[in-house]
Amino acid sequence: MHIGYKSSESWVRHSLIIPKSHFCSLKATPPHVIAAMCSKVPFISSAIMKATGCDSFNLLVNNGAEAGQVIFHTHIHIIPRKARDCLWPSESLRRHPLKLDQNTFKLVNCVQEELSPAGNTEDVNDRGSTLAKN
């Protein structure tokens, strides 16, 4: 695992977690590699927040060109944030009540179907989260 540091005008002092082996996307990255990358987040983010004086951070993965991925090697960004830094507009600055409609429930059902043992060959038991039912 490689820890990178990046500094520029628009993305001030953010770090990258990069696996040593090459994988072009999260889909191509083995789960144990993703787990190893994610296991570093608490340690690295704590150090970044102390070094930058920030108390918050964004954890970001751009997966695929349509999601903004321009470096096709799996990596995780840890981006320290300060109040109203306007790095990019935050939904939390203009939060509206969540409205669940039929499309939301259709999406939930499709995701649940994909995660079910019949729709997915991975073990989905004990994932630590649940999806809302309609």
pLDDT at 20: 93
Intra-chain end-to-end CA distance of the chain, in Å? 41
Beta strands in the chain (DSSP E): 2-6, 14-18, 56-60, 76-81
19 contacts 74 by C-beta, under 8 angstroms: yes
What span, in angstroms and rounded, lies between the C-alpha atoms of 94 and 34? 32
Q: Are strands 76-81 and 56-60 parallel, antiparallel or unpaired?
A: antiparallel
- Is residue 59 within 8 A of residue 14, CB to CB? The reply is no
Active-site residues: which are they? Answer: 75
Q: What structural domains and CATH numbers belong to the chain?
A: 2-89 (3.30.428.10), 97-134 (no CATH)
pLDDT at 100: 79
pTM: 0.66
Per-residue pLDDT at 129 = 47
Q: For residue 133, what pLDDT is reported?
A: 46
> Helix, strand, coil proportions of the chain in percent (round to 5)?
30, 15, 55
pLDDT of residue 107: 84
pLDDT at 10: 36
Question: Residue 125 phi/psi, 5° resolution?
Answer: -75, 150
As a dihedral over the C-alpha atoms of residue 63, residue 16, residue 57, residue 98, rounded to 10 degrees, the angle is 0
pLDDT tens track, the chain, 134 positions: 655 544 443 345 788 999 999 999 999 999 999 999 999 999 999 998 888 888 899 999 999 999 888 989 999 999 988 887 777 666 655 666 767 788 888 888 888 888 887 655 555 444 444 444 44
